[in-house]
Amino acid sequence: MSPFRLLLVTVALAGGIAAVASTAAARPGTAKAAPLSAGEIHALYGQKSWIWKEGAGYFSVRERRFTAWSKENGKPSYGVGRWFIAEPGKLCFRADWHAKDGSAPATTCFSHVKRGKVIYQKREPDGEWYVFKHRRARADDEFAKLRRGNYVSDRLVRIQSKIGE
């Protein structure tokens, strides 16, 4: 896989996160919705793994390290980098993604706002707002795919050894 194609797969993977989320394209009113604070973003993601359809990403609080693996389209890849809060409500992760045919850097960001106790999320820059977490969290909320602990390292090591980087 060429570095450019790897970058496209990475972007598609991140886009798939939003596609799997609630299909209701909720658009919170800006007058009533407020960005999550840095502390709220940190509490949502820190020390948790975000389980995706064909992969997972881990947000370590130690040095804000971000690690991930993917098997998008049956092709194993892994990413290593950092996660950060770019501005109120905006979570980003920047990683170098590696696959059999090369590597490429990618940065992915998600904005978060809340209205009352409902949290909305959208992928930046062109995503649609959707309910990330309902007032009473539901099993099908994207929020439910965040699990405390590292569900990435074991698979990442296996993919690393397979790829040879």
Query: Once rounded to an integer, what is the mean pLDDT over residues 120-141?
Result: 95
Q: What is the per-residue pLDDT for 27?
A: 54
What are the tokens at 47?
A: 């020390």
Tokens of 74: 């049956």
Query: What pLDDT shows up at residue 164?
Result: 75
List, for residues 70-126, the tens digit of each pLDDT value: 998 889 999 999 999 999 999 999 999 999 999 999 999 999 999 999 999 999 999
What's the CA angle centered on 138, arms 134 and 144, to 5 degrees? 95
Report yes or no: 20 and 142 within 8 Å, Cβ to Cβ: yes
Q: What is the 3-state secondary structure (H, E, C) of 120-133?
A: EEEECCCCCCEEEE
Q: Which of 20-34, 39-53, 56-70, 132-146 has the lowest mean pLDDT?
A: 20-34
Residue 36's pLDDT is: 97
d(CA 135, CA 59): 24
